[in-house]
Structure 1
């Protein structure tokens, strides 16, 4: 392996000789507070994997001691083995543990996080959202069937493989539930927390929470995939948390005008404040949004195929004779007054915003793209719109 400046972060050969005997680590593909993720090659087969190297040699930056970190990692390994074998859950290939390091070898998902994919495409179509969310819910159903709650479902913890299939990952907050057990710890990511999680932390008489919190998180994810921004975002975190506890969100932004009723209805039934009234995982998968017509094949029919081909040719000829809609000019006054309400411009604006601001969630709430259009455009921005429209 070529020497690189990051190699001084690798553990010594003596402590990791078993790992190094089987795998050859390559470039860094991710970092955590006390861990590094590297692409690696299995020497015997040549297959690629992702190795998460957890450093236990010193206290982590967030104050977690080595003993606690080791126990938490062992608990995550136990849960990963419980949910192993499902196509939409990350597969743990190998584990190596030494005094100072733990090596977790996972299948490699070359398309990275769902979050990064969303960043690149801005929003997902209903068809693509259906494809992604069906797999997420199927994965969650398997997790719940093992009496496990994930507690940190979000686009950053959903990976995509070579065929853009979902792989749910990061079970660091996951918990095995006993019959009737309720949880009270506050853990997860603020924008994806369910109301009952917040109440369990705020009120002494709160009943706690269970697997329903994952259903709520799926609703937040689905909302975000369709329009590119989360449902409960606000500059002030306390306002955001209040909106979550009240289930206060809306479909009034311009993006929702292009989206049909079925996905909106499913989101409404997932983002229900009262957990007992929220859809369960089976009901969610049986929602009309996921029901697609299956076309039955009755064998090859040459005459029918020819009729379809001729109809397609006639339709193509007629379409060529129609005036081209792209030649129509956009009303300049409307574009200057409120460009974001115009479907033709909205994708362009969103795409530019993502390229300028990058990973808006990871850079903090100040970078959230939902805030980009709350202020009236200044003269310079209006000039930019005019120059772009005139091209």
Structure 2
């Protein structure tokens, strides 16, 4: 098992509620990895122990070109650590904000790779539950890697937990109804819309207002919005589960065979041979210029006095 001493921790790549992700270089093989450090006290205080244990448990069971790889986990007295692929192209979110919106062909490329990742998870009874541009990283060649499996859950049929990111929540989650893998196909609709328009279809500064808009499901369509794309999104962004694409008897085939994807060679996509619309500008292994800069914390990791009341709560680490 790896330990913290096996790495040189470098700059912060991202921050979250419980800690941060660092770029790290292995002293063993010299390669760069992303090391997620989570504060145990905060995880326990915010009652997220189950979600946090879920992430490594699920990541150990999956292997797919469009999903991030987990290499190892460990803990010290105060933090949990996950060693994952370093995906140097940064977040799709950052590129989308820079470009304002994507062309249809660019949006289609990212959607296609995401669909294959979701399809793979669903075949294994895993709901992802947190699809959004911030959780889609680009590798050095410009291909997709889904990251952050904190909300992912193994669910053979139905679940009730309310979680996810407000803008991307499906109506059935807001209504506190039992829900299934179909929530990921709703989020795919939100993602495609946001890539094409530059903002999600439902926007409100107030969470209650936002939830009302999602439940009303009135989508603002820009004048120049492609009718074929609109037809696809109406099939994904429908509160009626008996009509939502991805949830019907043909499963994800209804999405993949939709006319909006007519030009997509799915075999090529699966082999990571489709041509990415954007190739990140990366200079060598360990370059982090595609990530935002963060103020570095004054945190010391690695204390192992074993006076830690929370250690047993995290068997996944």
TM-score (norm 2): 0.77
In the alignment, does 2:160 pair up with 1:194? no
CA contact (8 A) 1:150 1:175 kept: yes
SS in 1 for 2:3: helix
Partners of 2:131 and 2:174 lie apart in 1 by: 16
Could you tell me how far 1:98 is from its partner in structure 2? 3.4
Partners of 1:78 and 1:271 lie apart in 2 by: 30
CA contact (8 A) 1:141 1:282 kept: no
Q: Which has the higher helix share?
A: 1
SS in 2 for 1:164: coil
Q: Residues 46-61 of structure 1 correspond to what in structure 2 (within 5 A)?
A: 46-56=30-40, 58-59=41-42
Q: Which residue of 1 aligns with 2:74?
A: 96
SS in 2 for 1:191: helix
Q: Which residue of 1 aligns with 2:45?
A: 63
In the alignment, does 2:254 pair up with 1:278? no
Cα deviation code 1:227-255 (max 9, x no counterpart): 1011011344333212211221131x34x
Q: Residues 141-156 of structure 1 correspond to what in structure 2 (within 5 A)?
A: 141-156=119-134
Partners of 1:148 and 1:18 lie apart in 2 by: 27
Cα deviation code 1:35-69 (max 9, x no counterpart): 1211111223221111111222x345x9325xx53
CA contact (8 A) 1:82 1:146 kept: no
Could you tell me how far 1:18 is from its partner in structure 2? 4.7
Q: Which residue of 1 aligns with 2:60?
A: 81
Q: Which residue of 2 aligns with 1:41?
A: 25
Q: Which residue of 2 aligns with 1:110?
A: 88
SS in 2 for 1:127: helix
Partners of 1:293 and 1:154 lie apart in 2 by: 22
In the alignment, does 2:176 pair up with 1:210? no
- CA distance 1:73–1:137, change in 2 (3 Å): same
TM-score (norm 1): 0.63
CA contact (8 A) 1:88 1:135 kept: yes
Partners of 1:46 and 1:89 lie apart in 2 by: 23
Q: Which residue of 1 aligns with 2:98?
A: 120
Cα deviation code 1:192-220 (max 9, x no counterpart): 111111112xxxxx4x1110000000000
Partners of 2:191 and 2:239 lie apart in 1 by: 16
- Compute the RMSD of aligned alpha carbons: 2.1
Partners of 1:283 and 1:186 lie apart in 2 by: 27
Q: Which residue of 2 aligns with 1:290?
A: 261
In the alignment, does 2:72 pair up with 1:72? no
CA contact (8 A) 1:114 1:158 kept: yes
**What is the count of residue pairs matched by the alignment?**
261
- CA distance 1:235–1:293, change in 2 (3 Å): closer
Q: Residues 204-353 of structure 1 correspond to what in structure 2 (within 5 A)?
A: 206=177, 208-251=178-221, 253-254=222-223, 257=224, 259-280=225-246, 281-292=252-263
Partners of 1:188 and 1:81 lie apart in 2 by: 21
Q: Which residue of 2 aligns with 1:24?
A: 8
SS in 2 for 1:112: coil
SS in 2 for 1:45: coil
Partners of 2:227 and 2:191 lie apart in 1 by: 17
